[in-house]
Chain A
Amino acid sequence: MLSRVADSIYWLNRYVERAENVARFVDVNLNLLLDAPPGMEQQWKPLVITTGDQDMFKQRYGEATAENILRFLTFDREYPNSIISCLRSARENARSVREVISSEMWEQVNTFYLTVNEAADVGLLSELHNFFPEVKMASHLFAGVMDATMSHNEGWHFGRLGRLLERADKTARILDVKYYILLPSVTDVGSPLDDLQWIALLKSASAYEMYRKRQYRITPKGVTEFLTLNREFPRSIQFCLLEAEQSLHQISGTPAGTWRTESDRALGRLRSELDFLTIDEITQQGLHEFLDRLQVRLNQVSEKIFADFFTLESV
């Protein structure tokens, strides 16, 4: 298929997934705050830190108040990773490949954009509790529509690849939010408040029920392991990598376990490392450090995919 088209389907999916995950990690914070005892300092700054865009935030808003941060992450049209900007980019990409995706996909992403756009015009932060679940659902709907209406061809695999790489990256960031919030109060580890926070975290990854089915008790180690190494839960990092790798091999035509392109090699290597990693090893190197390195590696995979399939240099 056309390189430009493959690129657009890939980014269409990344942006929809990104919007969903911004909703998720803002939502986890909102939920955590609701359960926090009165008088406890509100922790909003970590949200901006985990996006990696704190410079831009500072420039545009200055003070890290709850309102500023919520506005920045949801409705700021100038900030390219806000929910509204993600949807705008997703839609632009969809619009440039309308003839390749199904009409149903286009209608869903267009409706999604119009909904968010309307919410942004109104700009009511007090309505966000209802808004975030809507964003999550619309994103699921998009993925489901794509699954059920588009041929599972090369373009579809590029789309799935984009979605899963984005999701792996964002699950890492959602876990990282917890790290920042816990930092000032290490003594809270194991307290009832801490338990509530981990539950909120699991819920924001829609992982609470599935986690309970697997290992009953909420422990920091258990939650971390579930969200990074579990091979069955669709938002765990390892699950994303396994599925992404399948799509990549479908695209490149290379048998699993071997490589021909640089992308095969980078993704295969990362996935196989996680195959043999234990949660104890992660804790030893430090969760934050581990997540940080993982994000760098994921970025490298994206760069290789860009070079292998999307660059339009003359042959």
Chain B
Amino acid sequence: MLFDAYDPGDFFDELFLGPGQPRPEAELLIKRVNAMSLVELQQRQRAVQNTLFKLGVTFNVYSDNEGTERIFPFDVIPRVVPGHEWEWLEKGLKQRIQALNCFIHDVYNDQKILKDGVIPRHVVESAPGFLKPCMGLNPPNGIWCHITGTDLVRDKDGKWYVLEDNMRCPSGVSYVLENRRVMKNTFPHLFSAMEIAAVDDYASQLLETLLSLVPEPLIDPRVAVLTPGMYNSAYFEHSFLAQQIGAELVEGRDLVVSDGYLKMRTTKGLERVDVVYRRIDDDFIDPQAFRPDSLLGVPGLMEVYREGRVAIANALGTGVADDKLVYAYVPAMVRYYLDEDQIIPNVPTYLCEDPSQQAHVLDNIDQLVVKATNASGGYGMLVGPHASNEERQDFCDRIRTNPRGYIAQPTLCLSRVPTLIGDGFEGCHVDLRPYILYGQDIYVNPGGLTRVALKRGSLVVNSSQGGGSKDTWVVKSINPDAMVQS
């Protein structure tokens, strides 16, 4: 049987309690895979990869000329999340998004949280994602972060943590939808047997979220997805989502501000755009308001936005919440705005700008993960235990010169899922990025993108760093009374 040789080892394994002992929720899956031959499973894996390639489910690699598209490696063994655990996560994510939204609205308006001294003023004002031109903005219904992809991880003991909030334009949801599509062909019988929660609702929910932003009652509002263009690494996703919700996919050069409105150039002249789902970072969106060298944005868009004549999702300025120093204050925000305790905890975070914490970081750099506060995608980080002496020294210097620019966290031993590599299974570290929509209500798509580090022992799961993905199955709990993390 295929899983006979698999040893989950001294890790938290998402499918196994111990060697040959599947978790109750994963039992049917393991039984099904065990009934297959290795060749059969490998064939299915190849078939899935082929399908994804033919569908063009690819991402672009920068600085690579011919054949710029790669398929995001996909593994057929899914990750399983039991229903009761998912309910708890869903609650925690809703709470977090709500608090973060309050925070963003507050810092761009009354700044109560700063005045009350809950978060030091300089922390917010020194964050590169904090945009002065956004002061006083009041987006429709006071909602700023309409679309979020929060990164969750589990440590060795199975405890969940929020690793990162992605409030600007998180990507990856297209893989969730397309991975599911191919998995249904790979394990058709398991879907009904295991009562796996469907993910296909996402497109409708996204459309409703965007339509809830229409600035004035319009009979036929126009929604557009703004992309940097087909050479962007996430272009597949931009066009996929535009297609799924029936929106126009536009580039900056298709748009123009005219008569105080945002308009697009069509074969019949200029036509109004009412809601923009932007997949461009804040500072590129309007060269007049932000980076003057941006060719991707639309001159004058910020003014139209400020006037409330066009809605933008996510709102401009949300990047302030992506700052990793601001992240450290999320528990305080939850308490301040919601008067609740945080449900899903943060990873404990050392602030290098605090002298005593900095000293601790410098002394223990070989055990910590150091992250640039303004970077994402696995760039600008040091995994202490895996780094060379020079690399550690380099980061120590960087921390000393720019303490505001770095935070450190203990190296979590991420949970693992068996993954088909070569002729057998290996436990590979994973994280989880669920997608959350905030329109009239908050909606969490069940499951999310499980990213897997395919390099042996690696803890970095980002697609740009050699990661792959797995389907995530939220299944009916076998034992609903099972303990939930407290």
Contacts and interface: CB of A to CB of B under 8 A. Distances in A.
B56 A106 contact: yes
Contact of B267 (A1, A97, A99): A1
B56 A98 contact: yes
A2 B56 contact: no
Interface in B182-204: none
B54 interface: yes
A149 to B, nearest CB: 13
Interface string A245-264: 00000010000000000000
B88 to A, nearest CB: 36
Contact of B54 (A5, A100, A110, A315): A110
A4 B251 contact: yes
A98 B265 CA distance: 19
B256 interface: yes
A100 B250 CA distance: 11
B54 A309 contact: no
Interface string B381-400: 00000000000000000000
B22 to A, nearest CB: 36
Contacts of A315: 258, 265, 269-270
Contact of B243 (A5, A99, A110): A99
Given A1-B267, A3-B266, A96 B230 contact: yes
B250 A2 contact: yes
Contacts of A1: 266-267
B200 to A, nearest CB: 15
A6 B243 CA distance: 16
B254 A2 contact: yes
A114 interface: yes
A111 B54 CA distance: 6
Given A98-B240, A99-B242, A315-B258, A6 B56 contact: no
Contacts of A154: 267
Interface string B243-275: 100011111011010100000111101100000
Nearest to A98: B239
Interface in B209-253: 225, 229-230, 235-236, 239-240, 242-243, 247-251, 253
Main secondary structure on B side of the interface with A:
mixed
Contact of A99 (B54, B249, B253, B256): B249
B39 interface: no
Nearest to B238: A99
B483 interface: no
Contact of B254 (A4, A92, A99, A114): A4
B55 interface: yes
Contacts of A99: 225, 239-240, 242-243, 247-249
Chain A's interface size range is 20 to 34
A103 interface: yes
A314 interface: yes
A97 B229 CA distance: 11
A98 B266 CA distance: 17
A107 interface: yes
B243 to A, nearest CB: 4
Contact of A107 (B54, B240, B266): B54
A309 B239 contact: no
Contact of B253 (A4, A92, A309): A4
Contacts, number: 70
A312 B253 CA distance: 8
Contact of A95 (B225, B230, B270): B230
Given A107-B55, A110-B56, A312-B253, A6 B267 contact: yes
Contacts of B53: 114
Interface in A147-182: 154, 158
Contact of B256 (A97, A103, A111, A314): A314
Contacts of A314: 256
A143 to B, nearest CB: 19
Nearest to A6: B267
A312 to B, nearest CB: 6
Contacts of B236: 98
B56 A95 contact: yes
Contacts of A92: 230
Contacts of B54: 107, 110-111, 114
A265 to B, nearest CB: 17
Contacts of A100: 243, 249
Interface string A111-142: 10010000000000000000000000000000
B321 to A, nearest CB: 29
Nearest to B51: A107
A194 to B, nearest CB: 46
Contacts of A6: 267
Nearest to B251: A4
A2 B248 contact: yes
A154 B248 CA distance: 14
A84 to B, nearest CB: 12
Interface in B46-93: 53-56
A311 to B, nearest CB: 9
B267 A251 contact: yes
Contacts of A312: 253-254, 265
B339 to A, nearest CB: 43
Interface centre among A98, A100, A106, A158 (most CB of B within 10 A): A98
Contacts of B240: 98-99
Contacts of B265: 2-4, 312, 315
A2 B266 contact: yes
B57 to A, nearest CB: 11
B276 to A, nearest CB: 14
10 closest cross-chain pairs (CB), A and B: A99-B243, A99-B242, A98-B239, A99-B239, A309-B267, A99-B249, A96-B230, A6-B267, A3-B265, A110-B56
Given A2-B266, A96-B239, 4 more contacts: A95-B239, A98-B240, A99-B225, A106-B56
30 contacts: A1-B266, A2-B265, A2-B267, A4-B251, A92-B230, A95-B230, A95-B235, A96-B230, A97-B249, A98-B56, A98-B239, A98-B240, A98-B243, A99-B225, A99-B243, A99-B248, A99-B249, A100-B249, A103-B55, A106-B56, A110-B55, A110-B56, A114-B53, A154-B267, A158-B267, A310-B267, A312-B253, A312-B265, A315-B258, A315-B269
